[in-house]
Amino acid sequence: MLESGAEFQGLLRGAPVSADRILASSRQGYGEAVFNTSMTGYQEILTDPSYYGQIVCMTAPHIGNTGVNEMDPESSRPWCAGFVIHELCATPSNSRSQNDLESYLKDHGIPALSDVDTRALTLHLRSRGVERALILPTSERHRSAEIFGKLPRFEGRDLIAEVTTREMYRFEDKGEEKGSHPLHIVAMDFGIKTNLLRSLAAQGCSITVVPASTGPEKILALRPDGLFLSNGPGDPAAAPYAVETIRKLLGKLPIFGVCMGHQLLALAAGAKTYKLKFGHRGGNQPVLDNETGRVEISSHNHGYAVDSSSLPAQAKITHISLNDRTVEGIAIPSANAFSVQYHPEACPGPHDSAALFDRFAAALKRV
């Protein structure tokens, strides 16, 4: 059920869902309906905290073919509010598979729909834009107006505060030997993905992950060589505390931001952000590097963008989307800071932009 009144029917899968369950928690079965054009990587999508508060429609017709495993998650659990697919594979075939997708969704409390006309749903969202949505049994669809009226909208809601770590911690990559990290960075957790941490550790960095509300004094007291700004869900303007922290650290440390981190860096520099009609979500998004002229195929998951006309003179646009010309990267040379809107760490890929981690490591070593 979409807020506009449009209905897309399917078979209920995964965890049980009802109007009363949604009203009691609003974490599952209620969210913004979005679509993702990735052909694979559904387990990474489910466990990416940036999808918190979203009901994700996969445009690929067959989902679940490779099952699920303990190696691929991007966090400790799935975060999306619901999952919508066309055809669910009940018998996965992959040497790494440890369970089937429907059992995984049920175990983690995520309601889903299969046998949905996902092509029609995607076309609807492209033409009308992102909408609030519900996953409900047919017998309870008459309660949709009641639920929409009682539950909060997502614009202006601080979703970062709902997904960030509650305590500071050190990230230890099992693939790295102790003592092999001469560089120390602080990562502000706005909804951080595990593979971002792995990618930073692979550059020879020890990483202290801190809550999104951590102030500049506490960050500097950790004596880092640089600051990393992570991905995360929702509206960047709803986290002014993070913007203020970044503003106070500009010029004091090398800074690298990804996705939400990119938007927060732009806000800290004095720019504005705005909500896209239907966002960018998928692993096949073309981005132009303005400095090299190289086109990179990249992974995206964002519903907001930086307003190019609002960027201050000291910030330059380094990357743009070839789909809609939105800002995909900025640099502030005077502050030794740069960011990208997309995901250079993407799992399962693409990996065209992995060199951005090399660039950050080089900036750390120059300080």
**Rounded to the nearest 10 degrees, how much is the dihedral formed by the CA atoms of 27, 306, 119, 284?**
-110
Tokens of 238: 């709803």
Q: Say whether 328 is catalytic.
A: no
**Whether residue 345 lies in the annotated active site:** yes
Beta-bridge mates of residue 84: 57, 113
β 273-289/316-321 pair status: antiparallel
Among residues 80, 259, 300, 328, the one annotated as catalytic is: 259
Can you tell me the distance from the alpha carbon of 195 to that of 125, in angstroms, rounded to the nearest whole number?
A: 29
Nearest-angstrom CA–CA distance, 326 and 352:
19
Q: Which two tokens stand for residue 227?
A: 């600051």
CA separation for the pair 264, 268 (Å, rounded) = 6
The answer to whether the CB of 261 falls within 8 A of the CB of 339 is yes
Question: Which residues are bridge partners to 147 per DSSP?
Answer: none
Report the alpha-carbon distance of residue 292 to residue 299 in Å, rounded. Answer: 19
Distance, CA of 338 to CA of 253 (rounded, Å):
11
Q: Letter for the amino acid at 351?
A: H
β-strand 183-189 against 205-211: which pairing, if any? parallel
Q: Which residue in the list 44, 102, 328, 345 is annotated as catalytic?
A: 345
Helices and strands (H and E) in the chain: how many = 11, 18
In this structure, what token pair is assigned to residue 118? 């996902």
74 is catalytic: no
Q: Which residues of 316-354 are buried (b: 16+ CB within 10 A; e: fewer)?
A: eebbbbeeeebbbbbbbeebbbbbbbbbbbbbbebebbe
Identify the active-site residue in 86, 124, 280, 343.
Answer: 343
Q: Which residues are catalytic?
A: 259, 343, 345
